Amino acid sequence: MLQTLLADLNTQLKTLKAKVSEYTEIDFSLRSPVVSDNSIEMGLKGVFYNTQQRVEPPSSPPAFSLASQNTNMFYIAVSAFTINSAFLLLHKTNVFNIRITDDMVPSVSPIRLSTTTFGAFIPQISETHPDLKLELKVETVKEPIIKLEQDHVILQLLSTVTAVQSDNTTNTLFVLNLESVASVQVSVEEGDLAFNLTLEKIKGSMNDKPFKVENINFLTVIMHNIVFPIIKAHLAKGLQPPGLLGSYIGKVHIVNPQVKVLNDYVLIGTDIEFEENTSS
């Protein structure tokens, strides 16, 4: 009986996957368990796939091993490969393509979606199109890339921003082709991962003519306080991150979580408390 149960559990662990959106699922099936006297280390696949057409990523995941850890009860390491496989799929399914309107900006914000705002870091915009309200269509040209180094996260993004006049959406005012590099600080706030992004470099063209970005600090404020909250809300509508433990054991409470960024992976360590699942 016990052998049958263990065999069944082993089969389930080798085929674990979870749907996170209409067209996206993550395969986190068990690959390489290692059992020692005081720990169990489980290697999970961690690759995102299109539910309509399962295609393997263009490259294989690099091997990495965890340094010995014994401060917390539970650790999970997420590789750059896993994050980038998600970015690739979200790009291909156009999830990153969104339309941003001024009514999506918090009403208390002094920064509005207008040519005046954009003119603060690209003067040609306000000079050519003074004091006009905008709608923006944001598209990724290719998938974003995350690079993880010791205590350092780098995000590379190629995007196109098409601006139209808000009361005349057939009137395209300008098109920005942007190449951005940002550093990202990762932390845990109230049990959730939090990200603080700082633009390090941005260059591009407007209507196919190169331009120089002025006042990059102001642009960082706009991205952090306006653009990224809108993108986060947009992504949250269609994405439902899977519960790795809760659906099997009951409610899981994390205690004193810590985040470390290491070479090629992010390590999250935490103590955990289980609440018995009393549902039948």
111 and 84, same domain (yes or no): no
Query: Are residues 247 and 153 part of one domain?
Result: no
Domain closes at, from 238, 253, 271: 238
Same domain, 218 and 154: yes
List pLDDT tens digits, range 41-81: 888 888 889 888 888 888 888 777 777 777 888 888 889 99
Residues 49 and 127 in one domain: no
Q: Which residue has the higher pLDDT, 139 or 62?
A: 139
Position 155 scores a pLDDT of 92
Say how far apart CA 252 and CA 275 lie, in whole Å.
6
User: Do 200 and 272 sit in the same domain of this protein?
Assistant: no
Distance CA 45, CA 81 (A): 10
Kindly report the backbone phi and psi dihedral angles of residue 177, in degrees, each rounded to the nearest multiple of 5, phi listed first: -105, 115
Please state the rounded mean pLDDT for residues 20-25. Answer: 78
Q: Where in the sequence is the domain holding 186, given as residue range(s)?
A: 96-238
> Quick one: 77 and 155 in the same domain?
no
Q: Assess whether 101 and 187 both reside in one domain.
A: yes
Tell me, yes or no, whether 12 and 70 share the same domain: yes
Q: Is the pLDDT of residue 21 over 70?
A: yes
Does residue 42 contact residue 16 with C-beta atoms inside 8 Å? no
pLDDT at 142 over 90: yes
Top mean-pLDDT range of 20-29, 64-73, 264-273: 264-273
Give the span between the Cα atoms of 117 and 122, in whole angstroms: 9
Interval 162-198: pLDDT, tens: 999 988 878 899 999 999 998 988 877 766 667 777 8
The residue among 259, 256, 250 whose CA lies nearest residue 272 is 256
Amino acid code (one letter) for 52: Q
Cα separation of 122 and 135, whole Å? 17
Q: How many domains does one find in the chain? A: 2
Which residues does 204 contact at the CB level (< 8 Å), separation at least 6? 176, 177, 178, 179, 210, 211, 213
* DSSP-H helix ranges across 112-267: 115-119, 123-128, 216-222, 228-238, 246-249
Residues 164 and 270 in one domain: no
Neighbours of 139 (CB within 10 A): 14
Whether residues 25 and 71 fall in one domain: yes
Do 64 and 169 belong together in one domain?
A: no
pLDDT of residue 169: 76
Look at residue 147 in the predicted model and tell me its pLDDT.
95
- Assess whether 190 and 123 both reside in one domain: yes
- In this structure, are strands 24-27 and 17-21 parallel, antiparallel, or unpaired? antiparallel
Instruction: State the pLDDT confidence band at 2, using cuts at 50, 70 and 90.
Output: very low
Q: Among 222, 178, 179, 233, which residue's Cα sits nearest to residue 198?
A: 222
